[in-house]
């Protein structure tokens, strides 16, 4: 009702809220008193509940008005749930089956009820444990290509795309986190930063490099001003859930319009960090598992490119690179497509390098490194990651393709 006000729910109070919605009670089955509620949020920002009923289970995700990782000293607007909901809707249209199905959205409560993805677990944990996931690269390459292409004016009607850019431009505070934490804070002694103490000399070197800082800011300028497509915005291995053969994507609250290479670039950085951290986690299977991670990177880009080219041929109905200029003149648009892919590759590598820096120097680190308790061991591995990140930001134009990228990772390893 109009009198409703935002209330963060608890495992005790959630059932009485959910029982007001017939679609949810039918889905869960049984009486509300029989529902079992667990809070499972392990992320940095939100409440996440699993509700188990006799018939099925659901996920309830509710935004908190502050950053969970830091506390109520850092307020964060509830409206991000609205953008997460709209992002999930669009991703479901653009890559059917890739994201959790939506059951219910409550704007006042900043609350989304969605499909419980099971028996999947978070990919980052699987990678720390040395588990392989069949079909991972194919799924992720296609997800990135489909969302990039179908959310752009290569495909969308300009009026629709521009209206959507307007809608999502309201998601201000969340990209502001990316703008500061990802692109800027790693490169100076920002208040919330931390890093493994043994890294001091490497960190000092990075922060004294004005060319590196200028390149990172150039990427930030693109990120903040370039509205090529709707990106997930937080596509790290903690936003991917997998079984041994099947994967899904969750948590797009960092959605915004940004360069098409953003998601695949951030994701690649997280795979490279998984790669560099492996000596801290593996025994005799180290080499085999590291090779698998590198194959995921090359296969992701191969899958991305193949899908992007396919969509270029079959769904290029937007304002950009129109068929009137190419095919209708009996001229090929293949070279034009390669040019677009080259720009995506360049942006992806830039983002990749910056993400490698921020996850070791800024506020929110990755469990891949953080769970290595011996700081001397951890710092040595993080240093490889930092140095390769700098190489990507500074000299990405010298890396021709994904094979070159993984060869570089092997050189730094």
Closest approach of Cβ 27 to ligand ADP, in Å?
Answer: 14
Q: Is 280 in the site for Mg ion (CB under 5 A)?
A: no
Position closest to Mg ion via CB = 43
Closest approach of Cβ 64 to Mg ion, in Å?
Answer: 11
Q: Among ligand ADP, Mg ion, none, what does residue 116 contact (CB within 5–8 Å per kind)?
A: ligand ADP
Q: Which of 182, 334, 152, 341 is nearest to 269 (CA)?
A: 182
Closest approach of Cβ 72 to Mg ion, in Å?
Answer: 18
Q: Among ligand ADP, Mg ion, none, what does residue 114 contact (CB within 5–8 Å per kind)?
A: ligand ADP
Residue showing tokens 């986190």: 177
Closest approach of Cβ 174 to Mg ion, in Å?
Answer: 9
Which chain residues interact with ligand ADP by CB under 6 A?
40-46, 48, 59, 61, 100, 114-117, 122, 238, 250-251, 253
Closest approach of Cβ 234 to ligand ADP, in Å?
Answer: 8
**What mask, x for binding Mg ion by CB under 5 A, covers residues 143 to 182?**
----------------------------------------
Closest approach of Cβ 292 to ligand ADP, in Å?
Answer: 22
CA distance 360 to 298: 24
Closest approach of Cβ 87 to ligand ADP, in Å?
Answer: 12
Q: Among Mg ion, ligand ADP, none, what does residue 61 contact (CB within 5–8 Å per kind)?
A: ligand ADP
Q: Is 100 in the site for Mg ion (CB under 5 A)?
A: no
Q: Is 251 in the site for Mg ion (CB under 5 A)?
A: yes
Closest approach of Cβ 99 to ligand ADP, in Å?
Answer: 8
Dihedral pair phi/psi, residue 58, rounded to 5°: -135, 165
Q: Among ligand ADP, Mg ion, none, what does residue 367 contact (CB within 5–8 Å per kind)?
A: none
> Which residues contact residue 112 at a Cβ distance below 8 angstroms, ignoring those fewer than 6 apart?
60, 61, 62, 81, 84, 85, 88, 102, 104, 105
Closest approach of Cβ 251 to Mg ion, in Å?
Answer: 4
Q: Is 253 in the site for Mg ion (CB under 5 A)?
A: yes
Dihedral pair phi/psi, residue 363, rounded to 5°: -75, -55
Q: Is 368 in the site for Mg ion (CB under 5 A)?
A: no
**252 close to 233: Cβ distance less than 8 angstroms:** yes
Q: How many CB atoms lie within 10 A of CB 396?
A: 20
Query: CA geometry: angle at 239 spanning 230 and 142, to 5°?
Result: 55
Q: Is 186 in the site for Mg ion (CB under 5 A)?
A: no
Residue showing tokens 């319009």: 257
Contacts 24+ apart (CB under 8 A), 404-408: 405/268, 405/297, 405/298, 405/301, 405/349, 406/294, 406/297, 406/298
Q: Among Mg ion, ligand ADP, none, what does residue 123 contact (CB within 5–8 Å per kind)?
A: none
Q: Among Mg ion, ligand ADP, none, what does residue 112 contact (CB within 5–8 Å per kind)?
A: none
Q: Is 233 in the site for Mg ion (CB under 5 A)?
A: no
Compare residues 46 and 303 and give the one whose CB is closer to ligand ADP: 46
Strand partners, 37: 51
- CA 317, 318, 321, 323 dihedral sign is positive
Compare residues 253 and 355 and give the one whose CB is closer to Mg ion: 253
Would you tell me the crossing angle of helices 200-207 and 334-361 to the nearest 10 degrees? Answer: 130
Dihedral pair phi/psi, residue 111, rounded to 5°: -130, 130
Compare residues 122 and 383 and give the one whose CB is closer to ligand ADP: 122
Q: Which helix (H) or strand (E) holds 59?
A: strand 57-63
Strand partners, 241: 122, 248
Q: Among ligand ADP, Mg ion, none, what does residue 48 contact (CB within 5–8 Å per kind)?
A: ligand ADP
Q: In the complex, which residues of this chain contact Mg ion (CB under 5 A)?
A: 43, 238, 251, 253
């Amino acid at each position: 009702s109009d009198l409703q006000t935002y209330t963060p729910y608890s495992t005790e109070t959630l059932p009485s809220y959910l029982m007001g919605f017939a679609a949810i009670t039918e889905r869960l089955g049984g009486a509300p008193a029989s529902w079992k509620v667990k809070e499972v949020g392990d992320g940095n920002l939100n409440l996440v509940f699993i509700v188990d009923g006799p018939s099925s289970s659901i996920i309830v995700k509710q935004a908190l008005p502050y950053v969970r990782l830091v506390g109520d000293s850092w307020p964060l607007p509830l409206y991000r749930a609205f953008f997460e909901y709209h992002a999930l809707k669009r991703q479901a249209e653009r890559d059917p089956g890739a994201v959790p199905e939506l059951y219910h959205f409550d704007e006042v409560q900043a609350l989304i009820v969605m499909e419980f993805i099971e028996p999947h677990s978070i990919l980052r944990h699987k990678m720390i444990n040395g588990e392989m996931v069949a079909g991972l690269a194919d799924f992720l390459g296609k997800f990135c290509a489909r969302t990039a292409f179908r959310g752009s004016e290569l495909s969308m009607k300009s009026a629709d795309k521009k209206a959507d850019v307007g809608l999502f431009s309201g998601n201000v505070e969340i990209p502001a986190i990316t703008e500061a934490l990802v692109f800027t804070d790693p490169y100076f002694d920002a208040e919330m930063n931390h890093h493994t103490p043994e890294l001091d000399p490497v960190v000092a070197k990075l922060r004294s490099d004005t060319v590196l800082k200028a390149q990172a800011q150039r990427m930030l300028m693109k990120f903040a001003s370039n509205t090529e497509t709707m990106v997930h915005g937080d596509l790290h291995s903690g936003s991917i859930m997998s079984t041994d053969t099947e994967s899904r994507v969750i948590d797009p609250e960092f959605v915004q319009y940004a360069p098409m290479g953003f998601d695949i670039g951030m994701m690649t950085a997280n795979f490279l960090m998984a790669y560099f951290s492996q000596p801290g986690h593996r025994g005799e299977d180290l080499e085999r598992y590291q090779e698998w991670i590198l194959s995921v990177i090359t296969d992701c880009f191969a899958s991305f490119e193949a899908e992007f080219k396919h969509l270029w041929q079959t769904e290029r109905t937007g304002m950009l690179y129109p068929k009137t200029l190419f095919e209708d003149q009996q001229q090929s648009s293949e070279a034009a497509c390669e040019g677009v892919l080259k720009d995506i590759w360049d942006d992806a590598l830039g983002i990749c390098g910056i993400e490698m820096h921020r996850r070791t120097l800024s506020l929110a680190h990755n469990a891949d490194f953080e769970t290595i308790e011996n700081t001397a061991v951890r710092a040595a591995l993080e240093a490889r990651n930092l140095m390769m990140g700098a190489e990507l930001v500074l000299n990405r134009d010298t890396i021709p393709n994904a094979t070159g990228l993984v060869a570089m990772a092997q050189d730094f390893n």
